[in-house]
Amino acid sequence: PTRDAGQQPESPSAVLARVFGFPGFRGLQQQAIDRVMAGGDVLLLMPTGGGKSICYQLPALCRPGMGLVVSPLIALMDDQVAALRQVGVNAAALHSELEPEEAARIKSDLAGGRLDLLYVSPERLLSPGMLDRLSRLEISVIAIDEAHCVSAWGHEFRPEYRALAQLPQRLPGVPRIALTATADPRTRSDIIDALAMPDAEVLVASFHRPNLHITARPKGSELTQLLELLGRHKDEASIVYCGSRNKTERIARSLRERGWPAIPFHAGLAPIEKRAGLLRFRSGEPVVICATIAFGMGIDRPDVRSVVHLDMPDSPEGYYQQIGRAGRDGERSDTLLLFGGEDMARARHWLDQSQAPVAQKRFMSQRLESMIGLAETTSCRTRALLACFGEDLAVDCGHCDNCISPLATFDGTVAAQKVLSAIYRTGQMFGALHIVSVLRGKQTEAVKRHRHDELALYGIGKEKSDGFWRSVIRQLVARGALKIQGEYASLALHESVARPILRGEQPVMLSEDAAATLGSVTSASP
């Protein structure tokens, strides 16, 4: 946009209308921009699609000098630059994938003061001479995009981001705005510390996405459960997250055999396959992407109608980010999370084995437990999810599975005691299948061989279905009374939690969810 020297500088709202064609600001944009325009620092937390970019692009255009944007994602930088050029903003991106001539041209534009906005990867920014070159220019604003990458606790940690702490010394007096869609309070304070911006105004947008209809279900037959949801989204785009690369391929194959336009996507694919997959996803045609969490960053298709998790994510942040890829266009979209006791136990086990520093393990473990709590909650899921980010929704969402059909809870203390005793009496070396057989009094091979039909508690759970007992076991795993160990997934008591339950000192409220869904599936078998 041409801004003639000597002319009155344009206000951000005027540039918003003239350059971007938007009639007004949304949400916290105005507040963030006002602060940066006045020379102050900002930490802006806004969900993806909330409109963060405008908050540095406008100050970059309205303050004297060039805006500098640090971004870790080359594809995203290129997209932004292309979009800005289309509306006449002189933007460029410096990163490792440029042709040498292109890089030289950008550097000459830079030195000549011809750029409105420069996107740069952290590596480039910190490369020899770059900061010197920048310090000779007038800089209007420094934006640090994906600022959560500075947090060593997060799953997207980028060590180079740590060096951004030197920016205030190297480029003094330039207002900084850090932006992220990751909302947990821990990351928030990490960003402020690591970027050395103690005076930053922290602006937190609501992360509530009312068009997302959240459902979570105990894992039964995952393919059946998946097909049931996809059936409501024929000829639309869906993302199915899987816990492993193998599984993305397996699920995609099963779906294709049933006529679904499914493709796998994971970091192990050849670049050409990845590109083809992305192209197909972006083309707007109906597609079901079966992906690991490698699929996500920088993906922007507005009309994804459903996001399914066949395996439980390891934190509410990851979960929120992934389901957030549905319904960017604001239209109603469905999300389905499948969870099982084994997933939970396995995630805990891995965390336990991890070599990470103790404090970090504790943090990761807190997040995992919040995720498990989210899966097992019997109250409004939207509300529970937002509470993980410190946001308090005033009323229940009204459209998650728990709001639509509230789960009945019952006093499960006696049932829990039966399960715990059965596990204890059989030596804490059997899996759920065997424990259920013992409780229901089945004459299986294993029961006879171990003479478990001679135990006093053999058959004490006859009156309930297999599904009921599996659900009780899963819920006891979820609350930490049971752990699953070893290659045979044997169940063992977690003493400190299990003992008070066995002694009757700790009542146990359980939900009837799985009893309903799984009971009908498995009670048919003998």
Strand pairing report for 176-180 and 42-45? parallel
Using CB under 6 A as the binding rule, whether residue 388 contacts ligand ADP is answered as no
- Nearest approach in angstroms of CB 54 to ligand ADP is 5
Using CB under 6 A as the binding rule, whether residue 25 contacts ligand ADP is answered as yes
- Is residue 147 a contact partner of residue 178, using CB atoms and an 8 Å limit? yes
Using CB under 6 A as the binding rule, whether residue 72 contacts ligand ADP is answered as no
Q: Which stretch binds ligand ADP (CB under 6 A): 47-55, 136-144, 368-376, 381-389?
A: 47-55
Angular region, 404: left φ>0, alpha ψ -120 to 50, beta rest = alpha
> Could you give the residue ranges of the DSSP H alpha helices within 147-293?
159-162, 167-170, 185-194, 222-230, 245-257, 271-282
Closer residue to ligand ADP, CB minimum distance, 25 or 161: 25
511 sits in which H/E element:
strand 509-511
Using CB under 6 A as the binding rule, whether residue 36 contacts ligand ADP is answered as no
CA–CA gap between residue 191 and residue 414 (Å, rounded):
47
- Nearest approach in angstroms of CB 50 to ligand ADP is 4
- Nearest approach in angstroms of CB 395 to ligand ADP is 26
How many other C-beta atoms can be found within 10 angstroms of the C-beta atom of residue 99?
Answer: 8
CA–CA gap between residue 507 and residue 144 (Å, rounded):
49
* Cα distances (Å, whole numbers) of residue 197 to 32, 46, 52, 164, 377: 15, 18, 19, 11, 37
- Nearest approach in angstroms of CB 508 to Zn ion is 24
**Interface pick for ligand ADP out of 3, 13, 31, 51 (rule CB under 6 A):** 51
Residue 71 binding target from Zn ion, ligand ADP, none, CB below 5 to 8 Å by type: none
Residue 400 binding target from ligand ADP, Zn ion, none, CB below 5 to 8 Å by type: Zn ion
Residue 282 binding target from Zn ion, ligand ADP, none, CB below 5 to 8 Å by type: none
CA–CA gap between residue 210 and residue 333 (Å, rounded):
10
CA–CA gap between residue 92 and residue 396 (Å, rounded):
45
**Interface pick for ligand ADP out of 15, 32, 54, 326 (rule CB under 6 A):** 54
Backbone angles phi, psi at 144, to 5 degrees: -115, 100
Residue 290 binding target from ligand ADP, Zn ion, none, CB below 5 to 8 Å by type: none
- Is residue 343 a contact partner of residue 311, using CB atoms and an 8 Å limit? yes
Residue 397 binding target from ligand ADP, Zn ion, none, CB below 5 to 8 Å by type: Zn ion
- Nearest approach in angstroms of CB 398 to Zn ion is 6
Using CB under 6 A as the binding rule, whether residue 225 contacts ligand ADP is answered as no
Using CB under 6 A as the binding rule, whether residue 298 contacts ligand ADP is answered as no
Q: How many residues lie near ligand ADP (CB under 6 A)?
A: 12
Residue 51 binding target from ligand ADP, Zn ion, none, CB below 5 to 8 Å by type: ligand ADP
**Interface pick for ligand ADP out of 33, 36, 52, 437 (rule CB under 6 A):** 52
Closer residue to Zn ion, CB minimum distance, 380 or 498: 380
Which residues contact Zn ion (rule: CB under 5 A)?
380, 382, 396-397, 400, 403
Which neighbouring-strand residues pair with 493?
482
- Is residue 413 a contact partner of residue 472, using CB atoms and an 8 Å limit? no
**Residues in touch with ligand ADP (CB under 6 A):** 22, 25-26, 29, 46, 48-54
